[in-house]
Structure 1
Amino acid sequence: MTTHAAEPTTDTKPAEFASFLIGHLSGRVHDQISEEMHQLLEAVNAHGKKGQLTITVTVEPPKGAVDGGPVTIAVDSAVKAPKPVAPPAIYFLDRDGNATRNDPRQVAFDFRTADGPTEFRTAE
């Protein structure tokens, strides 16, 4: 039985993925993913909601699928961090169907500031 170079045998040990990731593109990808993980942890802690970091490794054979030829490996990452959510506010609809903060069924009062002293006395 002949074994091709690309087929692992039962007596081989796979290389550590962490070592590959640290060495890929001189460590730039590892540094980027580490920063993204840190940002994700901060966002989850700040907003109390879950987030996700996805790492995608794409391996492509050479053109023409030459046996034993070099493969290209690309690593990509995507972060889905929780974001702050603005609380809802209550609005009313006016006669034209537009949102307004004032209840159109309520009588409006014309409030104005009363005249008075602009300086306050301090206790002695």
Structure 2
Amino acid sequence: MAEIGDDEIVDPQDFSAFLLKRPATHEELSVKMHDLVAAVMDTGKKGSLTLKIVVQPFKNDTSTLEVADDVKLVMPQHDRKPGIFFPDKDGNLTRDSPQMLDFGPLRVVDQKSGEIKEVKK
């Protein structure tokens, strides 16, 4: 219960009743909550779901209110592993160190046939 003014007691409506009057918002929150739970279980990290409600007079008429909502979902992300690269003489990134000698392609010898084959990277 909430008190308003001089000892007047008002029983506010449940918030869930408001959401049921906005079925698209209720549906969006339900779906995003389900997605968030799955992502948290998959990553082991936290995420968040935020509902923002803005209430304002409708065209300067305080007897009519405009109610807008905004739903924000922040999904947890898997860690991204960095890669090791080297800058070449032109400033481009390469996996091969420009300081290392190039021995050409790797080759293997087939033990049964004696055939020499190149190993692809």
Q: TM-score normalised by the shorter chain: which range applies? A: 0.7 to 0.9
Of structures 1 and 2, the one with the larger relative CO (CA 8 A, separation 6+) is 1
TM-score where L is the length of structure 1: 0.72
Q: Distance in 2 between matches of 1:8 and 1:103?
A: 79
Q: CA deviation at 1:102?
A: 0.9
Query: Where do 1:1-124 residues align within 5 Å?
Result: 10-21=8-19, 23-25=20-22, 27-66=23-62, 69-110=63-104, 111-114=106-109, 116=113
Higher percent of residues as strand: 2
Instruction: Give TM-score, length-normalised by structure 2.
Output: 0.74
| Aligned length, in residue pairs | 109
Return 5+ residue gaps in structure 2 as ranges: 116-121
Cα distance, 1:70 vs. partner? Answer: 2.1
Q: Which runs of 4+ in 1 moved over 2 A?
A: 6-10, 83-86, 110-118
Measured after TM superposition, the shift of residue 8 of structure 1 is 9.2
Coordinate RMSD, CA, aligned: 2.6
1:21-42: per-residue Cα shift (whole Å, max 9, x none)?
1x223x2321210111111111
State the AA in 2 paired with 1:62.
F
